[in-house]
Amino acid sequence: MDFEPSYMALVDSGEIDERIEKLYASLEKCEICPRKCGVNRLQGEMGYCKADANLVVSSAQPHFWEEAPLVGLGGSGTVFLSNCNLRCVYCQNSEISHGGEGVSMTPEQLADSMLYLQRVGCHNINLVTPTHYTPQLVRSIAIAARKGLRLPVVYNCSGYESVETLKLLDGIIDIYMPDMKYGDVESAKLYSDAPDYVEVSKDAVREMHAQVGDLVIEMDIAWHGLLIRHLLLPNERAGSLKVLEFIANEISKDSYVNIMFQYRPSYEAFEFKEISRPPFVEEYNVVLDMARGLGLHRGFPNL
Ligand code: SF4
């Protein structure tokens, strides 16, 4: 398949440089994400996510445990970013997301890592928890593109995104892969310290879908579009039905939805009795039936 990533048009026209300028300007009184902390990250101040102007990366390597259309034979070129704009009590990577473990890299160095991931045969550049580093990451993409990067970029995020920032990513990101963690406001507040998560994530996913549409898979590889993840929590604590209803009724019944069954309590989850166990298979089957009943049919077992 002949494929040219979206960002090449903006690189060729030079518009990507204007976007980078606008994104960096947002760091001066940071409103990159919905927390809108207002700190001057360019002067070394830190807000909720504990990130300043430095790009901190935990790892950049081929990864084979993502969704099958991202992995193919060559793997997904994952770049794990340190820090996070959510505080999930069940975080699986708390040392990285909350503890900030990782190494400082310049956008130029990360661009070279992206080119390395392309050289070793990865099918995409998969930016994991990218939100708070959007300006630095777009700069890396522009540098890498000018040196020959031609892979689609995956924006693999928590769904807690600012629509204004997403608009500056229009035409740069080929695949949006947001979580839709909660359909229930109380859970979002209690487990992720984000009482506005439900509405914020809906607006973000609407914007993402408007930009890229449903997921396009050709030759078993994802090239473009929206891939939504929903992590099943025990005791219906994720509000799964509300999430699935939103996707089916307001986004598209052709949405690719990975309903994830891998929740295991970790970090501070044991302090919350109702989420201190994995979900049961019966709970998973109920949610799969809900999805099928709503007309969703991609991304989960559809027997
Ligand atoms: S990116 Fe970080 S500093 Fe900026 S608004 Fe979000 S949490 Fe606050």
What span, in angstroms and rounded, lies between the C-alpha atoms of 117 and 229?
A: 24
Write out pLDDT tens, residues 236-286.
Answer: 999 999 999 999 999 999 999 999 999 999 999 999 999 999 999 999 999
Tell me which H or E stretch contains 105. Answer: strand 103-105
pLDDT at 303 over 80: no
Identify which of 136, 47, 140 has the alpha carbon closest to the alpha carbon of residue 86: 47
Cβ–Cβ under 8 Å, residues 58 and 82: yes
- β-pairing, 125-128 with 153-157? parallel
Q: Which residue, judged by its Cα, is nearest atom 2 of ligand 1?
A: 49
Band of residue 61 on the pLDDT scale cut at 50, 70, 90: very high
From its phi and psi, is residue 232 left (phi > 0), alpha (psi between -120 and 50) or beta?
beta
pLDDT at 150 over 90: yes
What's the mean pLDDT when you consider all of the chain?
97
Cβ–Cβ under 8 Å, residues 153 and 141: yes
CA Rg, the chain, in Å?
18
Q: How many CA atoms lie within 13 A of 188 on its CB side?
A: 21
Band of residue 40 on the pLDDT scale cut at 50, 70, 90: very high
Q: Which of 85, 163, 197 to mutate to test the pocket of ligand 1 (most atoms within 8 A of CB)?
A: 85
Write out pLDDT tens, residues 90-123.
Answer: 999 889 998 899 999 999 999 999 999 999 999 9
Structural domains in the chain? 7-293 (3.20.20.70)
pLDDT of amino acid 302: 72
Q: Which of 24, 29, 30, 45 to mutate to test the pocket of ligand 1 (most atoms within 8 A of CB)?
A: 30
User: Phi then psi for 123, rounded to 5 degrees?
Assistant: -90, -10
Cβ–Cβ under 8 Å, residues 78 and 59: yes
pLDDT at 134 over 80: yes
Cβ–Cβ under 8 Å, residues 176 and 159: no
Closest approach atom of ligand 1 to CA 51: 2
Q: Which residue, judged by its Cα, is nearest atom 5 of ligand 1?
A: 36
Q: Where are the alpha helices (DSSP H) in the chain?
A: 7-13, 15-26, 68-71, 94-97, 107-119, 134-146, 163-168, 185-192, 197-212, 240-246, 281-293
Q: Where are the alpha helices (DSSP H) in 132-174?
A: 134-146, 163-168
Residue indicated by tokens 């969704």? 67
What span, in angstroms and rounded, lies between the C-alpha atoms of 45 and 28?
A: 9
Question: Could you count the other beta carbons within 10 Å of the beta carbon of residue 302?
Answer: 10
